[in-house]
Each structure stands twice: as structure tokens, then as C-alpha cells.
Amino acid sequence: MKIGIEGQRLFRKNKHGMDVVALELIKNLQVLDRENEYVVFVRPDEDNTCIPQAPNFRIVELGGGTYPLWEQLALPRAVKKEGCDLLHCTSNTAPLLNGVPTILTLHDIIYLEKLSLFQKAGSWYQRIGNTYRRLVVPAVVKKAAKLVTVSHYERANIEQYFGPMDKLSVIHNGVGEHFRKIEDTKLLEAVREKYKLPRKFLFCLGNTDPKKNTPNMLKAFALFRLETGQKNKGQNQNQNQGDSKSHNQSENYKLVLPDYEESQLMQVLRDIGHTEIREDIVMTGYVPNSDMPALLNLCELFLYPSLRESFGLPILEAMACGLPVITSNTSSMPEVAGEAALLVDPDEPAAIAGAIGRVLDEEALNARLRAMGPERAAGFSWRGMAEQYLQLYRALFRESAKQ
């Protein structure tokens, strides 16, 4: 069996969620399957060594213009030329005219939902991409031989939109083994220096995508600072009266925010009326996946109050590093986090701020979350994900051979 895997964006330098999932799938299939042949179709870019070499894996770099043209014209031609028996498209879309059975990983259908927040906001790149998905995905869902999504929440969402489908299954994402507690202090300090990280900080993966809820997260941080300032004032009065008992929130916590530009941040801060917190925000720029475990090990807690996720991989990555996690009580996040995170209403900055205070103040809660996180994360592995995809490839090949 010759299996084609679409990995259009895998060679780009700054990888994000769906890219990480596709790359981990390929790496684990290389270990699991030495019998079948694989052809990985990618667009030429900077990071052209990210896929390890394996005897039964071949990389085919394709030009072909924009994302839609690459996928709709260049990809199906290459699949035919390579003689693939099936094609796995990994990132929500696929060719409309493809001569072989197709498996589509449909991570989410946010772009199809009637949520003006997600359709009319975000960068131009995000809006153009969502327009393409709205045009293509309904047709691809009908044509695909098999569909996979990443959570039971998202499966219910997809079936509510398209109707029940026997060809739709759930395969959870996994957590990389490099996400773990790190004892190497030299490594940790090297990462602290590389990104100019403060001694005490909270970490949040915010970006310009509206679903990431960055404005409410920043409002919550502003409220937390205000509350901290009030408590510090009271604490100082107590200390002046001879009470030396310290308060966890007396620390001057910073907020570390990667993958954001200064102009974008200042616009959000002006919009929410809290430009005064800029001095307490550290912007690192893009943090590659290889550096993320050390950064997580250095912080005090991980904030992920997203409005809408199909899975929420960073939740598990933070848990695997032994961090307390605050995330949302909506969409897939309770399914992924289980009882190992503190869940909040992402639309309520005061609730997020209160949760931050609780995690930093309440030693028992902090310890419980730190203990439960790694155990929860251990239930999600890339190897397990790849095994399920391999079973799906084999089943589809047998079905197509009978036709």
C-alpha cells in the first residue's frame, strides 16, 4: 500500500497546532510501520529537515501557487503521478477532484459556524483562509471516504452541522515525550536568558485569532494586578505593625505572551482600556516547540481561557510539565482537561482573575493541580494516535480493494 500524506505547511519555520499534529503523526508512523510506502507532499520552505528520514518514507516538494491552488491542482496531480492508493489530508481541507480514496482530518468547523466574532475578526490571512474553508469543506466532507476529528465535542459539532455520519471517527491528539518536568537547571536558565524571562511569570498562548480570547485574558491580568496591589498595600500595613507573614500574591508576577507583535498588543490594550499593564507583559516572539517545555517549567501557571477549541493541545503539554492550568469550561476543553485543571467562564475576566489568585494563593489547590496534570497528560500519546490512523489506512485500503 502506498499512502500519500498532505503536509503542505510542515516545512514552514513557525509551526502551529495542525502542523505539530501532522508532524508527530509522520514521526510515529515511521516507527510503527515499515511495511507500507509513504509519500509526504509538502511546500518548499525554510525548515526542510524537520521530517526524519526513513526507508519507506519519501518527501515530495511541490510548488503550485497559493494554498488553494496548491491543494486543488498541484496535490492531486502529484498523488496520481506517485501512484498513491489513498491520500490523507491533515488540515481541514482536501482536493475536490482526487482520483484516490481520501481521509480528511477535520480538526474543527469553526469557520462554518454562524459566529460573527470568528468570521469577521482576525488577520486578513485568517479571514481569507476561513473563506476558502467555508467554500471547500462542505463538498470535501461529502466526498471523503473517511473523516477524523480530534474530540467527541467536535464530532458532535460536525454531526449537528452535517448530520450523523458513520464514516466520522474520533482520534485524540497526543503529547510529545519532551513535555515533562525538567531538572536541568542549566538548560532552564539558558532558556530564561534566551527569551529574557522574568523570575515569576504567568504564561498564556494568546494570538490574533479571536477564539484565543486574548482581550479577556489581558483584562483578567489587569484585574489580578489591581487585586494584587490592594493586597500588597494591606500586607505592607500588617508588616509595619509587626506581622511578617508573606502573601503569595506579593510577588510582582509578569505575563509572558509569545507570538504577538507590539503594535497588535498595544491596540488590544487600548481597546480594553488597560495600557498601564504593558510594563508587566513580556513578549518573546515565536517560541519553537523544542523550547516550549523549558519555558513551561519556568512559569508559575498556564492560562488557556480560549473561547472555542476543537481539542486544546497546549493544556496537556502544560500539564505534562507539572504546571497548574487554568482553562475554559466550554467546547472541548473540559473533555481534554478532565479534573486536572481549574475551569472558568472565558467570557468573565473577573472569574479568570479570581482563578489566578486562587491557584497562586491556595497551596493545596496548587499542589493538587500539579500532581494531577502529568497523570492526565499521560493518557494522550502520539504513538496511540498514529496506531489508530494506521488501522484506518488499512481498513480503507481493504474497502477500496473490494470495490
In 3D space, the residue among 319, 326, 315, 313 whose CA is nearest the CA of residue 297 turns out to be: 319
Residue 245: band (very low, low, confident or very high) from pLDDT cuts 50, 70, 90: very low
Give the pLDDT score at 119.
46
Percentage of the chain beyond pLDDT 90 is: 82
Whether 309 contacts 331, CB under 8 Å: yes
CATH number of the domain located at residue range(s) 2-174+381-402 in this protein? 3.40.50.2000
In 3D space, the residue among 286, 283, 296 whose CA is nearest the CA of residue 178 turns out to be: 296
Helix (H) / strand (E) element for 393: namely: helix 382-402
Q: Per DSSP, what are the bridge partners of residue 42?
A: 61
Dihedral over alpha carbons 84, 88, 89, 95 (to 10 degrees): 40
Place of cell 492508493: 85
Per-residue pLDDT, averaged over 69-91, amounts to: 97
Dihedrals phi, psi of 362, to nearest 5 degrees: -90, 105
Q: How far is CA 105 from CA 69, 91, 143, 250, 298, in A?
A: 20, 6, 13, 46, 34
Residue 125 has pLDDT above 50, yes or no: yes
In tens, the pLDDT along 110-120 reads 989 865 444 45
CATH 3.40.50.2000 applies to domain 185-377: yes
Give the pLDDT score at 210.
85
List % helix, strand, coil for the chain (3-state, nearest 5): 50, 15, 35
Give the pLDDT score at 127.
72
In tens, the pLDDT along 274-302 reads 999 999 999 999 999 999 999 999 999 99
Place of cell 511569570: 201
Residue 122: band (very low, low, confident or very high) from pLDDT cuts 50, 70, 90: low
Name the maximum alpha-carbon separation found in the chain: 85
Residue 229: band (very low, low, confident or very high) from pLDDT cuts 50, 70, 90: confident
Whether 137 contacts 109, CB under 8 Å: yes
Dihedral over alpha carbons 327, 332, 334, 336 (to 10 degrees): -90
Residue 16: band (very low, low, confident or very high) from pLDDT cuts 50, 70, 90: confident
Whether 291 contacts 188, CB under 8 Å: no
Instruction: Domain ranges for the chain, please list them.
Output: 2-174+381-402, 185-377
- In the three-class reduction of DSSP (H, G, I as helix; E, B as strand; rest coil), residue 181 is classed as coil
pTM over 0.85: yes
In tens, the pLDDT along 340-388 reads 999 999 999 999 999 999 999 999 999 999 999 999 999 999 999 999 9
Residue 188 has pLDDT above 90, yes or no: yes
Per-residue pLDDT, averaged over 88-116, amounts to: 91
In 3D space, the residue among 54, 60, 50 whose CA is nearest the CA of residue 22 turns out to be: 50
Q: Are both 2-174+381-402 and 185-377 of the same fold?
A: yes
Helix (H) / strand (E) element for 355: namely: helix 349-361
